[in-house]
Amino acid sequence: MSGQKAPSHAAAPVAMDVAPVEQQAFDRIYNAVRASIVDKKLTGGRVTIMITTAMTAVERLGNLSGPEKKDLVLHVLDRIVDEIPVDESEKDAIRAALALAPVVIDSIVSAAKGQLGSIGKSSHGKCCVIC
């Protein structure tokens, strides 16, 4: 890691070792997520907001596959957490919440595609057994 911190008022993504097109995608998502947390205290509870902001930004990139988008989102989130000036105990809480990011991303994508299955439905197609 470079050890450089991006100021909280401006987005300054750190270069990745990737092709220029991928760097542009990283920068776009990084900037969107950083803008969503400017002047707000970053906590483990705000991780979902970071994930959805990153997913919204990455969805606009039509040239990447689903797994590539997911990897890009996860990489951006890791980089931002590394750079955010918070105490170590809060950073640990944020990292713990981010450990669930792959599952959260998969669930959001499944929900958007209407593929959540029969969660909450009984075997006879109603919402509960007594209906």
Of 56 and 46, the structure prediction assigns the larger pLDDT to: 56
pLDDT of residue 19: 59
**CB-hemisphere CA count at 13 Å for 95?**
13
Of 78 and 15, the structure prediction assigns the larger pLDDT to: 78
Whether 67 shows a pLDDT value over 50: the answer reads: yes
Q: Which residue shows structure tokens 């509870």? A: 45
Average pLDDT over all residues of the chain: 75
Classify each residue of 56-85 as buried b or exposed e, where b means 16 or more C-beta atoms within 10 Å of its C-beta.
ebbeebeebeeeebbebbbbbbebbbebbe
Whether 14 shows a pLDDT value over 50: the answer reads: no
Phi, psi dihedral angles at 75 (to 5 degrees): -65, -45
Q: What is the mean pLDDT of residues 31-43?
A: 78
Q: In the numeric block, which tokens belong to residue 4?
A: 């450089």
Percent of the chain with pLDDT over 90: 9
Dist. CA 61–CA 101, nearest whole Å: 20
Least confident segment among 32-41, 57-66, 91-100, 104-113: 32-41
Q: Are 57 and 32 in contact (CB under 8 A)?
A: yes
Pairs from 19-27 (Cβ < 8 Å, separation ≥ 24)? 21/63, 22/72, 25/58, 25/61, 25/64, 25/72, 26/72, 26/75, 26/76
pTM (whole model) above 0.85: no
- What are the C-alpha distances in Å from 97 to residues 18, 108, 110? 27, 16, 20
Confidence of residue 24 (pLDDT cuts 50, 70, 90): confident
Domain ranges of the chain: 20-112
* pLDDT tens digits, one per residue of 70-122: 999 999 999 988 888 888 888 888 888 889 899 888 888 888 888 876 554 44
